[in-house]
A and B are shown apart, each in its own frame.
Chain A
Amino acid sequence: MTELTYIGKPARRVDALEKVLGTAKYIADRKLPGMLHAHCLRSDVPHATIKRLDVSPALKVPGVRGVITSEDYFEHGLYGFPVKDKYMLAYQKVRYVGEAIAAVAADTPEAALAGVRAIICELEPLPGIFDMEQSLDPGAPQIGPDRPDDKHPNFLDKLIVRKGDPLAEWAQCPVKLEERYTVGPQEHAYIEPEGVLAVPTREGGVVVYAPNQSPFVNHGTLALVLDLPHNLVRVIQPPVGGSFGGKDDVIYESSAQAAKLALVTGKPVRMVFSREESLIASYKRDPMHMRIWLGADADGTLRACKFDGLMDSGAYASESPFTAWRASIHAMGAYRYAACDVDITAVYTNNGYYGAFRGFGNTEVCSGIEQAIDEMAYKVGMDPLEFRLKNCLRVGDETAHGQTLTESVGLTDCINTVRRLSDWDRKRAEYATRNTQHAMPGTAGHAVRRGIGVAALYHGTSLGAEGHDYAGSTIAVEQNNSVDITSGLTDYGTGSRTVFTLIAAEELGVRPERIHMQRPDTDTAVESGPTVASRATMLGGNAMRVAAMNLRQTLDYAAADLLGCELHQLLRHGEDYVGPSEEPVAWEKVADHARAMGLALSAQGKWTAPRINWDHHAGRGTPYMAYHFAAQVAEVAVDMGTGNVQVVGFWAAHDPGKVIFPQGAYGQLYGGIAQGLGYALMEQMTFSNGYLQETNFESYLIPTSVDVPELVGTFVEAPFSHGPYGAKNIAEPSMVPTAPAILNAIYHATGKRVRDLPANLERVLLGKDLTKGGSAKACKLGLKTA
């Protein structure tokens, strides 16, 4: 490959300046003249029939300008993908605490809240399901929609992988493991709560400023439920204050509510959530119960894996069918097996609702399988890191799905790298000796024990067999010779705007400062599917590369004409073009010449991923075109008197393919590790009879700067031939192996397995939960205030 000028070199994030100055305008910072404030009436019961809903008293409240219900939408606002089961405002039933029933727009937030309180809403409670294990019981109350087949209405989906007969294989293995693991729900905890600003247009349409991940999905959904032609709906993404998978469906709902209120009142309408409303009303990462069977030979060769997962989708499907699919594909981990079965079943309950969150099923199953793999290593008497090296996927290996990996498999490099960086071998030996001297907690002497643990990962790039995988970009030279670029894939803090800018600069041969990456706007960008699955760099990057190459052809043609030479005689020196006479010509002059020649100085690029196939019925095929590989090592200090776990060291080696924007890639890596640390140790969400107990950051704890240790990250770049410059992905995989690495380190320190996440004080100290009880109080209070 030729020397790269901008790719992989230090760069400035394109939107960093306005953010450090405090001038970036997030939704809550935007005000328009005459703007109304919107607030939702939300259910304070987990499951009920709406017996009576009378909004007319709200309209009499001073300052209230409009009130809407499900009656105000096409088909009552029914939406959802892949399963249409949720309404923009509840229709006939509510299925979780916090579900929106009606929305009020008023001159002030206080008047909107008064309007909400004036609505007459009679809810007749129905029995609920609060334990996913009971969801499919024959007599269980129906939560899911009616089904055309004879399956239980609370059954959402089941995803499988099949290879051979793992239980028969398992029975023959000399070393066996059969164990259960659980993970709880996790809240995205973006520091910016949800918000939307909708502005009615003179043509009868609406412009929606929405901090969503996927404006085009929002756009299509809005056109549907508002019954408007697509050209009358426009979605613009302002700066997004964090998302991590969390600002799609919930923002589509807020968008539809604010947009309808804007259309009804003829005024701009802004809706901003409080933290309590955000925590209660938004979707979370799904909890999962896992049962894992592993079998190996005495020499440590893995032979059999059977994985049964039960996943809570909560009251609605949201992205859970896709989450369950990604979970099924990754459930066995990055290892070779003679036989392997995976079954992931997703069911409905009344515990809030669950959707997309970074890692998207893999974060959940990796916590289970990477602990199980660790336990197997102990059973066969091998170092956990050696055990992984012995069994992990390499180039040429066939995965459990039947896919042969032909390139870009950096896993052994990653494992060896973290081994060296963390001083693994010395610490394993040293801590083992020291800790065994005091086998029981509470004994005198060492009150704090050290441990070090590892976890490995693979994570499929982009959508895979979830859907048609493509992206589009545009590029244009403006009159002042700046270059405007767009992408249909968005940047909600991830850094993709900078990635696209660097790619356009590299291909076009111009400085990044010349390029202006526009904000995502459905009127100007090209539809590119959803911005999910860590797909922006690869899909959007390729699309940007194609767009820039197309524009470059035009400019090269003009340069050759200007310099009176053939295309192959052109050279570049910085931005300048140089011909055979070796006189440099400024890039602007070439652009001017192209204009004089009547050439169009704009181009589009589209990139579609190579076709792959997955047989959902057989559980076999090629699920993803490529995989990200990684290994992470955590070192912990466990206070044996309190159960407190401090992560004191952390090393991560990842293979994201070629790194395009290094500061951004490291930022994603470090941030993912911090989220994984929270998932492992402190982020506890408790539903008590459908009522969330943690409704703000004083009870839902996320890692602070003193909880996160100094992080050592490094990239093993195994290029992927279809990625832009060899790039794959980084956003999701960064957090996936963190929790099991920490859990495995806790075991190394204490000799006791904590198989339920998070590993809170009582689970580490006592090995069980303390009964705390719960109440509806925090939820009811949280929903009463703005």
Chain B
Amino acid sequence: MLIEFTLNHKPVAVEAPPNITLLTLLRDYLNLTGAKEGCAVGECGACSVIMDGRLVNSCLVLAPQAGGSEIVTIEGIRGPDGGPNDMQENFITYGAVQCGICIPGMVVAGEALLMHTPNPTRPEIRTALAGNLCRCTGYQQIVDAIEATARGRQVDK
């Protein structure tokens, strides 16, 4: 079936079977491999994307459900020059990255949080990340990076 939606601010139309997940659609049909499959049951958050302004596990969304929606993946999160944005820069500066497999999901989750809660407390950041597992970092520097990004964006306002 033809699935049409907005992907990273651009319209896409892709022919795909109706019984695949949004994650498979992104990775195997659109070659966007930033979202990862870590568990395929919606527990780890490595496949996180933003769908109509909400953080979702793309492994739990059927591809046809994406039809007509607006999807943002890690590939759509960039600074004005096409390089890393402030969130991604802060992940590097604060040492939030180790093996990196969860990091696209973490950046996406951080952006989804700041869309609705521009100035979150640290407990609010932790709650927002509770669906994204990281086995390397203990989360501390990821929380630091998101907190610094929120502060930076408040100053820039």
Residue positions of A touching B, CB distance < 8 A:
10, 12-13, 15-26, 28-29, 188-193, 239-244, 274-275, 492-495, 662-664, 666-675, 696-698, 702, 704-706, 708, 710-711
Contacts and interface: CB of A to CB of B under 8 A. Distances in A.
B75 A670 contact: no
B147 to A, nearest CB: 11
Contacts of B99: 190-192, 239-243, 492-493
Contacts of B38: 191-193, 275, 697
B44 A711 contact: no
B112 interface: no
B134 A191 contact: yes
B60 interface: no
Given A670-B137, A670-B141, A191 B102 contact: yes
B43 A696 contact: yes
B41 A705 contact: no
A274 B40 contact: yes
B73 interface: yes
B117 interface: no
Name, among B40, B91, B103, B136, the residue most crowded by chain A CB atoms within 10 Å (CB to CB).
B136
Contact of A242 (B136, B142, B143): B136
B22 to A, nearest CB: 16
A502 to B, nearest CB: 13
B9 interface: no
Contacts of A10: 93
B139 A705 contact: yes
Contacts of B103: 19-20, 22
A219 B67 CA distance: 47
- A-B CB proximity, top 6 nearest: A22-B34, A663-B95, A493-B99, A19-B100, A241-B101, A670-B138
Name, among A29, A669, A670, the residue most crowded by chain B CB atoms within 10 Å (CB to CB).
A670
Given A20-B97, A674-B139, A710-B122, A191 B107 contact: no
Contacts of A275: 38-41
B138 A674 contact: yes
A664 B95 contact: yes
B148 interface: no
Interface string B38-67: 111101101000000000000000000000
Contacts of A708: 138-140
A706 B122 CA distance: 10
A664 B125 CA distance: 22
Contacts of B69: none
B88 interface: yes
A190 B95 CA distance: 19
B117 to A, nearest CB: 15
A777 to B, nearest CB: 16
Given A22-B34, A275-B39, A706 B127 contact: yes
Contacts of B130: 704-706
Contacts of B94: 663
Nearest to B97: A16
B16 interface: no
Given A22-B73, A22-B103, 20 more contacts: A12-B93, A16-B100, A20-B104, A21-B75, A22-B75, A188-B135, A191-B38, A241-B36, A274-B40, A493-B99, A666-B140, A667-B136, A670-B141, A671-B137, A673-B138, A702-B135, A704-B133, A706-B126, A710-B140, A711-B138
A399 to B, nearest CB: 30
B36 A192 contact: yes
B118 to A, nearest CB: 19
A696 B129 CA distance: 19
Contacts of A710: 122, 140
A617 B54 CA distance: 63
13 contacts: A17-B84, A19-B97, A20-B84, A20-B97, A20-B100, A28-B37, A239-B99, A663-B95, A671-B137, A697-B44, A698-B41, A705-B143, A711-B140
A493 B91 contact: no
A484 to B, nearest CB: 22
A191 B40 contact: no
Contacts of B104: 19-20, 22
Contacts of A706: 126-127, 130
A111 to B, nearest CB: 15
A26 B101 contact: yes
Contacts of A12: 92-93
Interface size class of B (residues with CB under 8 A): 35 or more
A13 B37 CA distance: 24
B6 interface: no
A35 B152 CA distance: 45
A697 B43 contact: yes
A23 B33 CA distance: 8
B150 interface: no
B109 to A, nearest CB: 10
Contacts of B139: 670, 674, 704-705, 708
A662 B95 CA distance: 9
B25 interface: no
B74 interface: yes
A191 B46 contact: yes
A20 B44 contact: no
B138 A23 contact: no
Contact of B135 (A16, A26, A191, A664): A191
A308 to B, nearest CB: 32
Name, among B97, B133, B138, B141, the residue most crowded by chain A CB atoms within 10 Å (CB to CB).
B138
A668 B140 CA distance: 11
Given A493-B99, A667-B98, A705 B132 contact: yes
A719 B105 CA distance: 38
Contacts of A192: 36, 38, 99, 101
Name, among B75, B84, B88, B137, the residue most crowded by chain A CB atoms within 10 Å (CB to CB).
B137
A706 B102 CA distance: 16
Contacts of B125: 705
Contacts of A26: 36, 101
A675 B36 CA distance: 22
Nearest to A20: B88
Name, among B27, B43, B127, B139, the residue most crowded by chain A CB atoms within 10 Å (CB to CB).
B139
Contacts of A697: 38-39, 41, 43-44, 133
A188 B73 CA distance: 28
A190 B134 CA distance: 8
A190 B44 CA distance: 11
Contacts of A666: 95, 140-141
A671 B34 CA distance: 23
Contacts of A274: 40
Contacts of A16: 91-92, 97, 100
B126 A705 contact: yes
Contacts of B135: 188-191, 242, 244, 671, 674-675, 702
Contact of B84 (A21, A242, A667, A674): A21
Contacts of A492: 99
A275 to B, nearest CB: 4
Name, among A10, A17, A705, the residue most crowded by chain B CB atoms within 10 Å (CB to CB).
A705
B34 A15 contact: no
Contacts of B122: 710
Contacts of A21: 34, 74-75, 78, 83-84, 88
A311 B14 CA distance: 54
Contacts of A705: 125-127, 129-130, 132, 134, 139, 142-143
Contacts of A673: 138
Nearest to B37: A28
Contacts of B83: 21
A472 B87 CA distance: 37
Contacts of A19: 97, 100, 103-104
Contacts of A494: 98
A24 B39 contact: no
A671 B136 contact: yes
Contacts of A15: 100
Contacts of B93: 10, 12
Contacts of A704: 129-133, 139
B47 to A, nearest CB: 11
